[in-house]
């Protein structure tokens, strides 16, 4: 496996206005298959990227995807969530509601745009794109695909 690519939230730049823009260095580094991983709710950015690194074999855990025969590229997609280290049900419910709102207003549109850019950039290349999501990340993933079903056919 060649490694992992982290797709993070970005500040607006001129290239962000082009729906087909992804850096050529990113696109050219991708190995088939690409696995885009979307985290769930109640995750710190550092924890999510630690998991992505572990999956790609760049982290501390030994059981990376390569151990199971995966030879592609892992892309970790981050969307804004809160983090609460408490098992208090009332506090968790409040965080869940807040993260659901973040998923709807930020996660879904950003992920949809990212998938659109990624699949457009890979047209003509023999690189498959798979998506794996956990917990509320499934909400982000499914709503993005439902809102742009053409992306699944590329």
pLDDT in tens, 100-153: 999 999 999 999 999 999 999 999 999 999 999 999 999 999 999 999 999 988
What pTM was computed for the model? 0.84
Would you put residue 118 in left (φ > 0), alpha (ψ -120 to 50) or beta? Answer: alpha
* Closest C-alpha to 83, from 39, 54, 45: 45
pLDDT in the model for residue 17:
55
Pick the residue with more confidence: 59 or 97? Answer: 97
- Residues in CB range of 78: below 8 A, 6 or more apart: 6, 7, 8, 9, 39, 45, 48, 49
Query: Is there a contact between 119 and 129 (Cβ–Cβ < 8 Å)?
Result: yes
**Confidence check: pLDDT of 25 > 90:** no
pLDDT in tens, 39-51: 999 998 899 999 8
Q: Locate the domains of the chain by residue range.
A: 4-153
């Amino acid at each position: 496996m060649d490694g992992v690519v982290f797709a993070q939230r970005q500040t607006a730049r001129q290239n962000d206005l082009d729906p087909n823009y992804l850096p050529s260095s990113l696109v050219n580094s991708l190995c088939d298959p690409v696995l885009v991983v979307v985290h769930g709710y109640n995750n710190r950015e550092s924890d999510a990227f630690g998991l992505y690194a572990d999956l790609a074999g760049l982290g501390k855990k030994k059981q990376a995807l390569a151990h199971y025969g995966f030879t592609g590229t892992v892309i970790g997609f981050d969307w804004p969530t809160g983090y609460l280290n408490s098992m208090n049900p009332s506090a968790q419910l409040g965080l869940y509601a807040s993260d659901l709102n973040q998923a709807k207003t930020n996660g879904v549109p950003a992920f949809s745009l990212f998938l659109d850019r990624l699949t457009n950039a890979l047209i003509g290349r023999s690189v498959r794109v798979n998506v794996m999501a956990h917990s509320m990340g499934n909400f982000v993933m499914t709503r993005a695909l439902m809102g742009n079903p053409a992306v699944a056919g590329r």
